Amino acid sequence: MAFPLTAHWAGRSIYDIDPAALARRGIRLLLADLDNTLVPYGVPEPTEQVREWTAALERHGVTLFVLSNNRHPERPGRFSKALGVPFIGHAGKPKTGSFYKAMEQMGRTAEETAIVGDQIFTDILGGRNAGVFTLLVEPIRLAGNPGRYLRYAVEWPFRALTKRRTKPL
């Protein structure tokens, strides 16, 4: 079994993820963390660039599904509704229950599912434990919370290892 704190793939941002490459891998459901993965913390609605990327996913048969640990259900709900995608808020990552619930809701298997996120100890660990393909991106913005800097420092060796092992999608 692979080490659960390394992702299968790493890139700078979601825009480094090629929707066609996901489709070629058989991925039909892309779970996505919200804050600092799709948009910075506090941005209430999708940007035009996120909308265009989501449309590109859809053109290749990949459904985006927001899987957020945000404890305020109105945040992921508002964002997802504006984007026209399903979501689970207060997901409890890295626990796997929300991963399985999303896959069941969308009629997809772990082999057809991937997750993209900016955090090793929630998104990647949870995805690995749920048996899905894991995609690690850099946090959009660390500013504003000293705890984020500390968490990022602790994650750094696992990020470096993932980047070293990453091959094109």
pLDDT digits (tens, 9 = 90+) for 63-105: 999 999 998 879 999 999 999 999 999 999 999 999 999 999 9
Q: What is the signed CA dihedral for 141, 146, 150, 156, rounded to 10 degrees?
A: 20
Residue closest to 86 by CA, chosen among 57, 56, 108, 106: 106
Find where tokens 């984020």 sit.
Answer: 148
Q: Answer whether residue 161 shows pLDDT above 90.
A: no
Share of the chain above pLDDT 70, in %: 97
Categorize the per-residue pLDDT at 1 as very low, low, confident or very high, splitting at 50, 70 and 90.
very low
d(CA 31, CA 29): 6
pLDDT band for position 117 (cuts 50, 70, 90)? very high
Average pLDDT over residues 39-67: 97
Give the predicted TM-score (pTM) of the model: 0.94
Pairwise pLDDT comparison (150 vs 139), residue with the higher score? 139
For 9-165, the fitting CATH number among 3.40.50.1000, 3.40.720.10, 3.40.50.620, 3.20.20.370 is: 3.40.50.1000
Q: Where are the domains of the chain?
A: 9-165
Task: Label residues 87-114 b or e (16+ Cβ within 10 Å = b).
Answer: bbbebebbebebbeebbeeeebebebbb
Range from 54-63, 70-79, 158-167 carrying the lowest mean pLDDT: 158-167
130 falls in which pLDDT band (50, 70, 90)?
A: very high
Q: Do you find a cis peptide bond into 94, omega within 30 degrees of 0? A: yes
Residue 2: pLDDT band by 50, 70, 90 thresholds?
Answer: low
